[in-house]
Amino acid sequence: MFDEILEKFEGSPSQQAVIRLFLERGFSVNEEGRVVSGGIEIPYTGIAREFDVDRRVVDSTTDAILDDPDLKRIFTNISSVPSLMDLAPVLDLTVLTIEVAAADEAGIVAEVTGILADHGVSIRQVLSEDPEFTDDPKLYVITDAELPGELLVEIRELGYVRRVGF
């Protein structure tokens, strides 16, 4: 789906960059064509500054979104999810990073979280990067406990896991 969205902007790398930003940050476009996060409006100038482009690129991107029924349906319904990853060091949390060979394989999150549960580890948050949005998607598991070595080895030995780290 991500490729299909970008194809609609294939003639404009600047607009593709804006689209990527909207998707990565969970920015939506309201019915008036304004970029918002929840109910907070994000100024075009701030978005344009991120890519060193003119704010009119953002304006034309939002116009194109509202003019295309498929894009409008997607971008008027996006919402952001807060992440504990950046707060982990401040809150004394552990972020387990798992790189897998086939991120679209079923059951990865269930198996990893099951292993953590078997070891009595409470999970604060799980974030999974979408294989359509990134070339090397990762699974992040945030806990409030230090993880024992045998747990890490058990996860590392799963057939689809390429690497485990913090």
Residue spans of the domains in the chain: they are: 2-75, 88-165
Burial 2-32 (b: 16+ CB within 10 A, else e): eeebeebbeebebbbbbbbbbbeeebbbeee
Contacts of 166 (CB under 8 A, 6+ apart): 94, 95, 96, 97
Q: How would you classify residue 38: left for phi > 0, otherwise alpha for psi between -120 and 50, otherwise beta?
A: left
pLDDT band at residue 162 using 50, 70 and 90 as cut-offs: very high
Q: What is the pLDDT of residue 144?
A: 92
pLDDT band at residue 52 using 50, 70 and 90 as cut-offs: confident
Q: What is the pLDDT of residue 101?
A: 85
Does residue 164 carry a pLDDT above 90? yes
> 44-51 and 55-67 helices cross at what angle (nearest 10)?
110
Residue written as tokens 């990865």?
108
pLDDT band at residue 28 using 50, 70 and 90 as cut-offs: very high
Does residue 104 carry a pLDDT above 80? no
Ranking 6-20, 58-72, 129-143, 148-162 by mean pLDDT, the lowest is 129-143
Q: What is the pLDDT of residue 122?
A: 95
**Residue 155: burial class (beta carbons within 10 Å; 0-12, 13-18, 19+):** buried
For 1-73, where are the E strands, in sequence order?
A: 28-29, 35-37, 40-41
pLDDT band at residue 156 using 50, 70 and 90 as cut-offs: very high
Q: What is the pLDDT of residue 133?
A: 72
Q: Is 1.10.630.10 the CATH number for 88-165?
A: no
Does residue 1 carry a pLDDT above 90? no
Element (H, E) at 94: strand 94-100
